[in-house]
Amino acid sequence: MKNLAQTRNAPRDVVRLERGQPTSDGAGVKLTRVIGTRGLPDLDPFLLLDEFGSDAAADYIGGFPSHPHRGFETVTYMLQGRMRHKDNQGNEGLLVPGSVQWMTAGRGIVHSEMPEQEEGRMSGFQLWVNLPAADKMTAPRYQDISPERIPSVSAEAAQVRVIAGESNGVRGPVTGVATAPVYLDVSLQRAGSFTHALPATHNAFLYVFEGQAEIGESRTKAIRGDLAVLGPGRDVLVTASDAAARFILVAGKPLGEPVVRYGPFVMNTREQIAKAVEDFNTGKF
């Protein structure tokens, strides 16, 4: 049996594969929920992962009208399409292909995310990242990151967009996040391989959204739409033997705190949830 030190330094392997579930959110936007399902309710500190993608305007045109958040962070990564966001504090911005918005809801914000197109493809991801108890009532803030601010580096047979964390000595533009996240968008050539060292303390997952990949020393195959939950260790090894692959690799420091969820509110106790509902209903956000 490996001791703890050996486990921390061993290559990470796949402990489970999950498939997303079709659902809708906002004003009928069709999407696939991959984290936040009955099979995978969360992966500390990650609370939810949605993939959206459609060429049919009817699947996304309703957007996400004004709605509240408290106690966590939302991360929107646009691959294709344009989305306008506004909030109740006068902030406004435009998400375009390749851009990222890392929004810290903190003590409360009411915002909307609405398409700025009536045809064409819209695709991307939204990730929810929990906040530690000490930061749940912090002031809201945005990190709006344009495509040109996200560095792209070559790593072996891969091209890597570094959104958060570090790859090959290059750091992503996201800063000041308590869970010290890693968020990479990796395009891997057919017959190529990619290795990345993650902090041994972090929980991690890999989601394939183009092609297929083989993960870890076990070479567990993940096809388009598979989320691989990665076990303990350090290095992540991915190969693309039969076809090219594109995937996001995401990791974060687990909080190990109680999680109480009620729709768009994520706190540590039921009493805090009740207070969030009261504050929203009385216009205190």
Q: What is the pLDDT of residues 19-30, one digit of tens each?
A: 999 999 999 999
What's the one-letter identity of residue 1?
M
Q: What is the percentage of the chain residues whose pLDDT exceeds 70? A: 97
Residue 3 clears pLDDT 50, i.e. is over it: no
Specify the pTM.
Answer: 0.94
Q: Report DSSP state, residue 132.
A: -
User: Where along the chain do its domains lie?
Assistant: 4-281
* CA dihedral of 244, 54, 264, 82, whole degrees rounded to 10: 90
Q: What is the pLDDT of residues 185-226, one digit of tens each?
A: 999 999 999 999 999 999 999 999 999 999 999 999 999 999
pLDDT of residue 53: 94
Query: Cα–Cα distance between 71 and 182 in angstroms, integer?
Result: 20
Residue 70 clears pLDDT 90, i.e. is over it: yes
Beta bridge partners of 4: none
CB-CB neighbours of 217 under 10 Å: 12
- Which residues, at least 6 apart from 70, have a Cβ–Cβ distance to it below 8 Å? 105, 106, 107, 108, 109, 136, 264, 265, 266, 267, 276, 279, 280, 285
Burial of residue 269 (CB within 10 Å: 0-12, 13-18, 19+) is exposed
What's the one-letter identity of residue 280?
F
Q: Report DSSP state, residue 70.
A: B
Query: Cα–Cα distance between 230 and 56 in angstroms, integer?
Result: 34
For residue 8, what pLDDT band results from cuts at 50, 70 and 90? low
Helix residue ranges, H only, the chain? 4-9, 270-281
Q: What is the pLDDT of residues 85-134, one digit of tens each?
A: 999 988 888 999 999 999 999 999 999 999 999 899 999 999 999 999 99
pLDDT of residue 89: 84
CATH architecture of 4-281: Sandwich (2.60)
Residue pointed to by tokens 């375009």: 96
pLDDT of residue 4: 35
138 phi, psi to nearest 5 deg: -70, 165
Report which of 223, 189, 218 is spatially closest to residue 206, judged by C-alpha positions. Answer: 223
Q: What is the pLDDT of residues 142-153, one digit of tens each?
A: 999 999 999 999
- Per-residue pLDDT, averaged over 163-170, amounts to 96
- Per-residue pLDDT, averaged over 44-61, amounts to 96
- Per-residue pLDDT, averaged over 231-246, amounts to 94
- Which residues, at least 6 apart from 258, have a Cβ–Cβ distance to it below 8 Å? 268, 269
